[in-house]
Amino acid sequence: MDFIATSVGTFGYPTSPGKKRHAWLSAAGLLAVAVALPMLASPASAEKLTIWSGWPDLVPFYKRVGDQLKAKYPDLDISVEAIALREHEKRLALSLPSGAAGDVIEMEVEAARYLEAGLIPEPPASIVEFVKANYDMTRVKTATYEGKIYGVPLFQGQGALFYNTDTFAKAGLNSPPKTMADYTAYAQKLVQRDTSGAPTVSGWSLRLSGGGSGIAEKYWTILYNFGGTLLEEKGGKWRAAYANEAGRNALKQYLDNVVTYRTVSPEMKADAEAFELGQTAMFIRESWVIGDIAKKAPNLKYATAPLPKGTLMVPVDLYVPNKGPKSQIAWDFVQKANEPENLLWLLENTAWVPNRKGLDYSAVLGKIPQLGAFVNTPADHVFFTVPAISPASEILTRLAARLEKAFTDKSLAGNDAGIDAFLKSAAEESDKILAREDLLAKP
Amino acid sequence: MRSKPKWLFPVLALLPVLGLYACLRIYPIAETLRLSLFKWNIISRRKPFVGLDNFVELMSDPLFLEAIFNTTIVAFGVLVITIPVGLALAALINGRQGLRRSGFYETSIFLPHVVSLVPAAMAWKWIFDARLGPLNALIGWFGIPAQAWLFDPALSLVCLIVLCSWQSIGYAVLIFLVGLKNVPEALYEAARLDGASALQAFRYVAIPLLRPVMLYVSVITLISSYNIYAQAFVLASDVQGAPGHLVRVLVLDMLENSFRNYRVGYAAAEAVVLLVIVLVLTGAQFRLFRDRSRA
Amino acid sequence: MSDPDHPSSDVDRNAPAGLAIDVVLFAVGLMMLLPLVFLISNAFKTPPELLAWPPTIIPDRPTLENILGVLHETPLLHWIGNTLIFAGISTASVVTTSAIAGYVLGKFDLPWFPAVFGIIIATSVVPFEVYMIPLYLNVQAAGMLNTLPGLLVGYLVMSFGIFLVRQYVTTSIPDELLEAARVDGAGEGWIFLRIVLPLMRGPLGALAVLAFFQAWTAFAWPLVVTTNKDTYTLEVGLALFQTGFTVDIGHLSAAAALALVPSALFFSLMRRNFVRGVAGTGLKE
């Protein structure tokens, strides 16, 4: 450490005793404040039920359920801690193994890894009966491990088309697109451009960047509606299934819209924000957008329509991860949340679609017709899910990174061989990840 | 009192500090080196030894390579901006010492360094915003078309460099100022008597004396720029309604691998690579500055 | 900041050049502050004005709604409190450990001390993020997630601090002073507390500022150690607040602007001591 050497400082003066006492006093004062603050901040409470959610828009719902529960537990204090989904997933990964998680938690397909590791206790028999009696077993798959039910489904994310009816009318369109080919044709009619030809209102807002794995999930939805799928199961193992014609058609649709017809560009406002600002004519999203529009753009004229074949569905289930005296209250909370009256409130106020069978939606649909595309899907509409395997998110993230570059790659436009090569190499990467985790199915 | 051995006080006084170092620095660093040879997913009890497999896989991992590339560009970008600009500002401020306004200069330049990262990154995020941001308004006056700063992969790197330089310049200026104050006034006087201009005096008197300080600042700047994470996280935070382009940096990739893909061993291998890079660069800087000062 | 070594008469001699320098510095200073000014101004804007083009610097119709909204919706003051406590204790620990270790390593000659000092300095080259995960696993195993001790674990010692103090001690505290006290029969502890510590006020003050801001701006560690809204530090709370479901620039700016206040205040109070304290340690050849 020879780069800093000697010099005599100018501050080597001793202090007078009086001054010093003053310094000690202020230090002691600071310490006292430091000790007192946390005590002020956390009032002691015997019964505090903590709800961990990955959806900040659900806070009012959980608070409402908590208030109802106070009839049974008058001293109960409900704390709803909702943070962004990715952070929520991370806190689960960090706290479940150490038993530090909330009393009621939401989990999606990632529950599989915790169930497999034995980190989630089994619910009481009454809860299992409740689930068996009131839910379609296909919707309980993610909460089931080795034939046993561990959680209670609450709601699900599923996609549908949102379209701006004013913009549609202006373009002479009076019905939503029916086939995937329609989507591109519509986008060309709907796009609005400035004098240089650059789009100012996109015809169809595609997910072109951001959100990590979200890019791949959106691609998957389009891929599915072209008759393909991302991963296929064979005897409990999986394999990438998108390096084929459906995969090519799906990627081509992006390239057509971004590069060839320029109905959308990566730098434009996108997604719900663009739709609410009138800067896109249509886009595919989950039902929560209905609630968001009601809050931010209540005067927007829009309608919804189911996708041609099917949609990615993400079920959100509730679990009680901690054993102990509070678990009974926690399960009461879960059951309360799933009462029909509360689920209909959830649908009406947050636009999330409940999972429970036999709910009467007519009153809510009368108020919010746009929910129809989500709760009254055609009989042959398919709901598919992300497989409950641990490398799923890594596969999606890596594919997303490749897709983000491909969507704007001019050399791929109209170049089927190039697209096929791209998909082949991406699929090999997906398979490699599956193989690493010993989950790769034989071709 | 004299009977106590001389080594007793220093050893007893040092022990607690050494204990902290052993637990909080040396052990975790050693453990990182060890974990990088295993495959482990945080929750499983199985933790098989895989030798150098993690490192082999890293070498052909496109996301990791992208992260190294981005981080290196940002780190050197920040270094190339911070050192000369910091030095120039410090020299100018040094010339204004004793004036009341020099307090304003110091504070305004240093403040970005001590502002919490998140508010700072938020401010910049808004400045760079393609539709509402003042930056596009500014370049619009000069007839330059609006740019998608945070969506274009190359431009978002530029944004990150600007943000990080803005934060690091204050510290550099401060340390340079300290160094400049320790340059004896007599040396400047002598140079001036020899007919040197102020610029020449600075170049030939101050800069050689500042070399150790420059070494210190450049080591600190490079290490901290290789660690950037919060800035990238906030600039591109994936807000559901309107996500931006994420600049993948090393720490971000590491955290994603350990806490989202549950690959702790793999992330540890990345950490080891980061460690090697930082050590090599620090060594290179030492060599560079030492050789120059000998010449 | 006045400095007796550099008389300002020198500056006044060539006024035009001095003026030019002032203009440049003033412009740079403003540019550095501009992002923060925008942030504060956005905090007072109404939603329509936030969407206005071109953006304004001074709000047309300033509103307090954003700030009140943020204070109502988030435990922002609680987060600031958490961070103050965390940064305060971290600073105290860093200053204490650095003072002791720096003094001992600088003034006592045990054969293995140079090696110890070398190791301490070497660890400072290792980025914190490199060994964060094993540290995390230990904190988790000890059940200290979401606790103040867990948060502090990463911020109790600072190699630069030990380096700074050792530097100061070897160059600015004469051995004769300590010897004289020893001859008078003073104990080593008394010498450290009554003679050495008062002499180190300058560098320790500077170190305190550095340590405080290091903890104040810590991000990656608090982000993984705190998973509970009540235990967030300000940085984490703000970051997660902004990744909420949808964007609200007004509220975000208000939260960020409020978060600015403590650090700006603390720095302007400590600025003089800080610069002089670092200078006093002799960062020169």
Tell whether C1 is covered by a domain. Answer: no
Q: Which of C223, C228, C230 to mutate to test the interface with A (most CBs of A within 10 A)?
A: C228
What topology does CATH give the domain A48-156+315-371? D-Maltodextrin-Binding Protein; domain 2 (3.40.190)
Predicted complex ipTM: 0.82
For chain B, give the percent of residues with pLDDT over 90: 35
Q: Are residues C114 and C216 in the same domain?
A: yes
Q: Looking at residue C251, which CATH number applies to its domain?
A: 1.10.3720.10
Q: How far is C169 from chain B (nearest CA, A)?
A: 14
Which domains are seen in chain B, by residue range? 29-294 (1.10.3720.10)
Structure tokens at B158: 């530029």
Pick from C1, C126, C253: CB nearest B103: C1
Nearest to residue B54, comparing CAs of B273, B255, B274, B229? Answer: B273
Q: How far is C220 from chain B (nearest CA, A)?
A: 7
Note whether B31 contacts C: Cβ–Cβ < 8 A. Answer: yes
Quote the Cα angle for A431-A137-A341, to 5°. 120
φ/ψ of A105, rounded to 5, equals: -130, 150
Judgement on whether residues C59 and C76 belong to the same structural domain of the protein: no
- Closest residue of C to B117, CA-based? C217
Where along chain A do the CATH 3.40.190.10 domains lie?
48-156+315-371, 158-313+383-436
Pick the CATH number of A158-313+383-436 from 1.10.10.10, 3.40.190.10, 2.30.30.90, 1.10.760.10: 3.40.190.10
Query: CA of C7 to nearest chain A CA: how many angstroms apart?
Result: 17
For every residue of B118-131, DSSP letters joined together read: HHHHHHHHHHH-TT
CB C280 within 8 A of CB C168: yes
Tokens of A200: 């100012």
Which chains lie within 8 Å of chain B at 3 or more CB pairs, if any? A, C
Residues C164 and C209 in one domain: yes
Q: Of the candidates A48, A101, A46, A99, which has an alpha carbon nearest to the alpha carbon of residue A333?
A: A48
Domain with C42 in it: 9-63
User: What is the least distance, in Å, from the CA of A87 to any CA of chain B?
Assistant: 10
Instruction: Tell me whether B123 touches chain C (CB under 8 Å).
Output: yes
Angle at which helices B264-294 and B250-259 cross, to 10°: 160
CB pair distance less than 8 Å for C129 and B115? no
Residues C31 and C51 in one domain: yes
Task: Give the per-residue pLDDT at A173.
Answer: 95
Q: Are A290 and A272 in contact (CB under 8 A)?
A: no
Respond yes or no on whether the N-terminal peptide bond of residue C54 is cis (omega within 30° of 0). yes
Asked which of C63, C79, C104 is the last residue of a domain, the reply is C63
Q: How confident is the model at residue C220 (pLDDT cuts 50, 70, 90)?
A: confident
Buried b (16+ CB within 10 A) or exposed e, A215-245: bbbbbbbbbbbbebbbbeeeeebbbbbbbbe
How many structural domains does chain C have? Answer: 2
For residue B97, give the nearest of C1, C189, C264 by CB distance. C1
pLDDT in single tens digits along all 443 residues of chain A: 333 332 222 222 333 333 333 444 444 444 444 444 443 344 444 578 999 998 888 989 999 999 999 999 998 988 888 877 777 887 888 788 877 788 999 999 888 888 888 899 999 999 999 999 999 888 888 899 889 999 999 999 999 999 999 999 999 999 999 999 999 999 999 999 998 888 999 999 998 887 678 899 999 999 999 999 999 999 889 999 999 999 999 999 999 999 999 999 887 888 888 898 899 999 999 998 998 898 878 899 999 999 999 999 988 999 999 988 899 999 999 999 999 999 999 999 999 999 998 899 999 999 999 999 999 999 999 999 888 888 888 999 999 999 999 999 999 999 999 999 999 999 999 999 999 989 999 88
Q: Which pLDDT belongs to residue A10?
A: 26
With contact defined as 3+ CB pairs under 8 Å, the chains touching C are A, B
Bridge partners for A199 per DSSP: A193
Q: Which residue has the tokens 């080919």?
A: A181
- Asked whether residue C53 falls in the same domain as residue C130, the answer is no
Tell me, yes or no, whether C54 and C95 share the same domain.
no
Q: Which residues in chain A are closer than 8 Å to B41, comparing Cβ atoms?
A: 113, 390
> What is the distance between the alpha carbons of residues C56 and C85, in angstroms, rounded to a whole number?
37
Q: Give the Cα-Cα-Cα angle A376, A207, A291 (nearest 5 degrees).
A: 45
Are residues C43 and C82 both part of a single domain? no
- Which of B54-58, B88-92, C235-239 is least confident? C235-239
Nearest to A90 among B147, B243, B260 (CB): B260
Say if strands A310-319 and A382-384 run parallel, antiparallel, or are unpaired. parallel
Question: What are the Cα distances from residue C276, in Å, to A302, C1, C197, C209, C211?
Answer: 64, 9, 17, 12, 16
CA B271 – CA C136 distance, rounded (Å): 14
Measured N-to-C along each axis, helices C76-107 and A17-41 cross at an angle, to the nearest 10 degrees, of 140
Q: Which residue of A has its CA nearest to B54?
A: A436
Using the Cα atoms of residue B146, residue B150, residue B152 and residue B157 in order, give the sign of their dihedral. positive
Tell me the whole-structure pTM to 2 decimals. 0.82
Helix (H) or strand (E) segment spanning residue C203: helix C201-216
B134 neighbourhood in chain C, CB within 8 Å: 38, 54-55
In a domain, C59, yes or no: yes
**Is C179 a residue whose pLDDT tops 50?**
yes
Among C48, C63, C78, which residue terminates a domain?
A: C63
Phi-psi domain of A148 (left: phi exceeds 0; alpha: psi -120 through 50; beta: other): beta
Closest CA to A355 of A369, A375, A377: A375
Query: In sequence order, what are the residues at sequence separation of 6 or more whose Cβ sits closer than 8 angstroms to the Cβ of residue A40?
Result: none
Best to test chain B binding among C121, C130, C247 (most B CBs inside 10 Å) = C130
Q: From chain B, pick out residues whose CB is under 8 angstroms from the CB of A422.
A: none
Supply the DSSP symbol for A313. E
Whether residue A267 contacts residue B151, with contact meaning beta carbons closer than 8 Å, is answered with: yes
Do C27 and C90 have their domain in common? no
Nearest to A98 among C140, C170, C173 (CB): C140
Q: List, as ranges, residues 88-127 from C with C-beta within 8 Å of A.
A: 88-89, 121
Nearest to A190 by CA among A78, A280, A69: A280
Closest CA–CA distance from residue A240 to any residue of chain C (Å): 31
Spatial contact of A126 and A325, defined as CB atoms under 8 Å apart:
no
